[in-house]
Amino acid sequence: MTERSPQPGRRPGNPDTRETILRSARELFADQGFASVTVRQIAAHASVDPALIHHYFDTKERLFLEAVQFPIDPSMLLSQIFRGDLAGFPERLVRTFISVWDDPVTGQAMRSLIRRAASDPQTGRLVKDFFTTQIVATVRDVTSEIIDPDELPVRASLVASQLLGLALVRYVLEFDPLHTASPESLIAAIAPTIARYLFDADLPLPTDDPPARDTTH
């Protein structure tokens, strides 16, 4: 089958070939983790030339984002959010997060993704792996002078717990009154939580160390 010549901008390509590549990517990413899978391995698994993957998807990250139907490019958003004063970062993060979920188009894709991530273990592993490697790495590059890189994974996952919980309660379960609360009023309530998790030097950081005493009583 002759592949079409490159198009400027979006490159839909042959739908069957694209879908074969996406299916192989989902499987390998979920099994082995985003970082350790190469484009060459995905190409071999899908029986296509690696150049074709770069032609259709540009980068491994973009291939991943299409594989999980993630509607936005999180590294681009994050670098926008990090532009500006440090004190305003938590507020910009919550505002951007809410605007992506409030938007009819990206919001629907995000709701669909969180539903699949919660109910389908393969999608769950993809999201977890992408967050704990790629997103944390992007944030680490930008914040290494203000957040101890060793502390970043645990601080970032606390932030994720609050933001994904907000998404679950506001957009999926639709708990009143958070479901209908205005974005600005949510930002005012939640941004200080994010600031504490990211920047507070006195935050007791969760660790794997077992507690000294039984915690169930």
Nearest to 38 by CA among 56, 22, 20, 50: 50
Q: Which of residues 21-40 bind its own copies (CB under 8 A)?
A: none
Write phi, then psi, for 59 (nearest 5 degrees): -125, 165
Angle between helices 183-199 and 89-102 (to 10 degrees): 130
CA 33, distance to chain mean position in Å, is 14
Number of C-beta neighbours around residue 215 at 10 A: 7
Nearer to its own copies, 62 or 131 (CB): 131
- Which of 50/153 has CB closer to its own copies? 153
The only residue of 11, 54, 95, 140 in contact with its own copies, by rule CB under 8 A:
95
One-letter amino acid identity for 128?
Answer: K
Minimum gap (Å) between residue 158 Cβ and its own copies: 6
For its own copies, the closer CB: 52 or 72: 72
Is residue 98 near its own copies by the rule CB under 8 A? Answer: yes
Output the smallest distance, CB 162 to its own copies, in A. 6
Of 35, 39, 77, 160, which one interacts with its own copies (CB under 8 A)?
160
If binding is defined by CB under 8 A, does position 114 make contact with its own copies?
yes
CA 1 vs. chain centroid, Å, equals 35
Amino acid letter, residue 101: W
| 210 touches its own copies by CB under 8 A | yes
Tell me how far apart the alpha carbons of residues 154 and 205 are, in angstroms, rounded to a whole number: 7
CB nearer to its own copies: give 30 or 42: 30
The nearer residue to its own copies, 52 or 160, going by C-beta atoms, is: 160
Q: From 116, 213, 111, select the one nearest 172 (Cα to Cα).
A: 111
Q: Which of 10, 145, 176, 201 binds its own copies (CB under 8 A)?
A: 176
List, in order, residues 6 or more apart from 175 with CB less than 8 Å away: 169
Binding-site residue total for its own copies (CB under 8 A)? 62
Q: Tell me if 198 sits within 8 A of 149, measured CB to CB.
A: no
| Tokens standing for residue 23 | 């299916």
Comparison of 88 and 206: residue with beta carbon closer to its own copies: 206
Residues of this chain that bind its own copies (CB under 8 A): 95, 98-99, 114-119, 124, 127-128, 131-132, 153-154, 157-158, 160-166, 168-170, 172-178, 180-190, 192-193, 196-197, 203-211, 213, 215-216
